[in-house]
Amino acid sequence: MPQYSRPDFHRMLHQARRWAGRLCLGSLSVVAVAASYSAQAQQLSERVARVQSLLTAESGYRLSVFAEVPNARTIAVAPELGGVFVGTRGRNLYFVRDEDGDGVAENVNLIADDFKLANGIAYKPGTLFVADQHRIVSYDLANFDGETLGRPRILFTNLPDERHHGWRYAALSPNGDRLFVAVGAPCNICKVRGLEGTIISIPVNGGAPQIYASGIRNSVGVTFHPETDELWFTDNGGDRLGDDIPREELNRASQSGQFFGYPWYAGSDTRSPQFSDEALPEEVTFPEFTFNAHNAPLGFTFDGGDALVALHGSWNRTIPDGYKVVRVEFINGKPVTDNPFLGGFLRSNGEVIGRPVDVKHYIDGSILISDDHASAIWRMVPAG
């Protein structure tokens, strides 16, 4: 099996020296750290290879490994830089580069490790945006060397600083002048305040946010339709209401100011028990499409008129469900059904070997799928 994305020894030494410098370690410790890093890389490669052998792709596609990235979550493709930024639900942010264009990344570089939750990332030529748990920043990439980010520019500092649903998702508007950021509710089901439970937008140069959509429990997938420029987003429903309710959502925000029901609705058309007797504060926009309860729809992309949606999988369902990427078929602009695109993450014996998170088109037209459980980025390529 090819050694997917595993750094060579010199790169491991470089990474080890960075850490050793921070920890004031000597040269022998540098070698020890590098050896440990190498052993961990070997274990990760072996685990990723096993997962790959068990996954099943949609007919007409073949599956390969693009990169091995610890806790790989959100993906931001940077064609001008020849690679992708990869966020995590933790401190680390990576840059992954396929230098020879063969569909296998040679370099996986940790470029920053000082975030609370580096999940919300977006890219436009020359600039990287990061929506952290508590603030939104940008980085000038004019002198980016692929290994270290410079100092951030602060765009906004008053995001709700709550870890519960504090992992953001970010997307740029079609014309690139505003950054859209999903801000989750800091609870299972509760009344929210301020920016909680919304999708906001801010100018890319910073400024006061505007609430674009509200009544949203926890969206971790936001994108714009390539033909209509309308905002679409996934939303995860409330927990502990049963195995099969509430249905989880794929929503369309056709204009600014729409209200999507939370917390009076726990998800889809299921009223929240604690607020079932209360009058709704405004008209509700219901989802365009729904998935099984607890499937956890996260990142998605539009593909040939359809949508490819990552279902991260259930954590509190009697019989686990989700754990796959599905193709949501659109007919006349409306989503009507979904079919497996990449499956096998949940085995028949109940073992979970992967959990897909984000879906993006890569530079060469292939499809990248991040997996924070397997610590991999999968690549789907049309066969033939």
Per-residue pLDDT tens over the stretch 294-334: 999 999 999 999 999 999 999 999 999 999 999 999 999 99
In the block, tokens 């975030």 appear at: 115
Contact 299, 220 (CB under 8 A): yes
pLDDT at residue 154 greater than cutoff 60: yes
The whole domain housing 307 covers 55-382
Identify the weakest region by mean pLDDT among 27-41, 105-119, 319-333, 344-358: 27-41
Mean per-residue pLDDT of the chain: 92
Q: What are phi and psi of 376, to 5 degrees?
A: -140, 160
Show the CA angle centred on residue 245, arms to residues 243 and 247, nearest 5°. 120
Biggest alpha carbon–alpha carbon distance for the chain: 68
pLDDT at 14: 47
Query: What per-residue confidence (pLDDT) applies to 43?
Result: 81
Mean pLDDT calculated for residue range 119-129: 98
Answer yes or no: do 29 and 98 share one domain. no
How far, in Å, CA of 169 to CA of 74, rounded? 8
What pLDDT, on a 0 to 100 scale, did the predictor assign at position 136? 98
Pairing of strands 231-235, 61-68: unpaired
- pTM value is 0.91
- Cα–Cα dist 238/273, whole Å: 11
Q: Identify the CATH number of the domain in which residue 239 sits.
A: 2.120.10.30
> Which pairing describes strands 107-112 and 120-124: parallel, antiparallel, or unpaired?
unpaired
Q: Are 352 and 320 in contact (CB under 8 A)?
A: yes
**Do 168 and 240 belong together in one domain?**
yes
On whether both 45 and 193 belong to a single domain, the answer is no
Same domain membership, residue 336 and residue 291: yes
pLDDT the model gives residue 41? 72
Are 279 and 271 in contact by the 8 Å Cβ rule? The answer is: no
Residue 23 pLDDT greater than 90, yes or no: no
Which amino acid belongs to residue 205? N
Is residue 20 pLDDT above 80, yes or no? Answer: no
Same domain, 65 and 28: no
Beta strand 334-343 with 222-224: parallel, antiparallel or unpaired?
A: unpaired
* Stated length of the chain: 384
Report d(CA 236, CA 65) in Å as an integer.
28
Residue-wise pLDDT tens digits, 50-94: 999 999 999 999 999 999 999 999 999 999 999 999 999 999 999
Domain check: are 44 and 110 in the same one? no
Q: State how many domains the chain has.
A: 2
Confidence of residue 383 (pLDDT cuts 50, 70, 90): confident
**Domain final residue pick, 38, 54, 70:** 54
Are 49 and 90 part of one and the same domain?
Answer: no
Residue with tokens 């870890």: 163
> Do 289 and 256 share a structural domain?
yes
With a pLDDT cut of 90, the percent of the chain lying above it is 87
Q: How confident is the model at residue 15 (pLDDT cuts 50, 70, 90)?
A: low
pLDDT at 3: 35
pLDDT of residue 9 exceeding 80: no
